Amino acid sequence: MQLRRIDSFAARHHGLINTHAARRLGVSRSAWYRAVAGGQIELLYPNVARLWGAPETFPQRALAAVWASGREALASHRTSARLWGVERHDDEPLEVLMRTHGAHPRTNGVIVHRPRDLLDLRPILRFRVPTTNPLRMLLDLGAVDPDAVEQAMIDMLSAKIVSPAALRGALYRHSRQGRNGVTAYRQAIESWMDDELPPDSKLEAEMARLIERYRLPPMQFHARVAGFEVDFLVTGTNVVLECDGWGDHGLDRDQFEFDRLRNGELVAAGYAIVPFTWRMLNTNSDAVADRIRRAVERSRPDPRV
């Protein structure tokens, strides 16, 4: 096989090529099998291969699983969550969702879901992987890992990927008796949507207790950073801590636009933003402290210094 025929395609798809694309590029079936036998491409699934030397990445694994499962497949559940930026374990199985109920190839090592609920299944490309949208992902995640939905929802809200209004709308559309994942999704919304911001004095005092208990580095409260006021700046680093409340967060357009502008300017100026909520600070301080510690370990010096 002349690899130059498929190099351009594979370069855009994490070093992968499949038999359907290879045929469109003029690669015969016999040439495909000669390339496999000759070690030019490594067969991952019967119809999906990786070019020799292509680095192994999670998006590559996810895309290979989607291609191997059929044209109507989407990365879903825990795999979709990771593609949307939710922290997951490396040893979790790959999961795909089929939008049709016909016969599909069996794929070793891949969990294939065939849901009856086909709402919100327009594919979205994440890292060039056809993926369920974040609202559908949260619902599906509730079916396989209900304890993870709250944190995943926080991550989506913090990144401004979803809004509270969109979360409530998805709950309304999908709520029905027996729908897997709805219970965990509803509990997460009820738990977080009414969580309001505390007075400054309480926030400062609670953070001081967190610093002392977990031996975190000192922080400046209401620091001025890149022309904006932030909740906390870890002294001597580029790490900014922001306490969010979800009651009205994201519903006001002006505030939404300002938050986008502000966070964009902070990131452009070299700062890393670590979001948390007042409720999390009080009920899951271990996780807040761990996030801060990991951010500080990866941090650079304060750009202003």
Mean pLDDT by 10 residues, the chain (305 residues): 77 94 90 89 94 94 96 95 94 93 76 90 94 96 95 86 83 78 89 61 87 94 88 94 62 60 88 87 90 92 81
Residue-level pLDDT at 183: 92
With CA atoms as reference, report the closest residue to 51 among 13, 2, 17, 4: 17
Whether residue 25 is contained in a domain is answered as yes
Cβ-contact 58, 93 below 8 angstroms: no
Query: DSSP character for 290?
Result: H
The enclosing domain of 260 has a CATH number of 3.40.960.10
Tokens of 40: 């030019």
Quick one: 252 and 216 in the same domain? yes
How far from each other are the two terminal CA atoms of the chain, in whole angstroms? 55
Report how far residue 253's alpha carbon sits from residue 195's, in angstroms, rounded to the nearest whole number: 20
Whether residue 105 is contained in a domain is answered as no
Report how far residue 275's alpha carbon sits from residue 192's, in angstroms, rounded to the nearest whole number: 14
Residue-level pLDDT at 104: 66
Report how far residue 229's alpha carbon sits from residue 115's, in angstroms, rounded to the nearest whole number: 46
Could you give the residue ranges of the DSSP H alpha helices within the chain?
Answer: 4-11, 19-24, 29-37, 58-69, 77-83, 134-144, 149-158, 164-174, 182-192, 200-214, 253-268, 278-283, 285-297
Domain of 133? 75-99+113-192
Task: Provide the number of structural domains found in the chain.
Answer: 3
Quick one: 170 and 277 in the same domain? no
Quick one: 175 and 244 in the same domain? no
Quick one: 119 and 166 in the same domain? yes
Place of tokens 């895309």: 63
Quick one: 275 and 221 in the same domain? yes
Report how far residue 270's alpha carbon sits from residue 236's, in angstroms, rounded to the nearest whole number: 13
pTM of the model: 0.67
Residue-level pLDDT at 118: 87
Tokens of 124: 């979205």
Asked which of 173, 192, 211 is the last residue of a domain, the reply is 192
Quick one: 220 and 162 in the same domain? no
Report how far residue 37's alpha carbon sits from residue 29's, in angstroms, rounded to the nearest whole number: 12
Task: State whether residue 126 is helix, strand or coil.
Answer: strand
Residue-level pLDDT at 165: 74
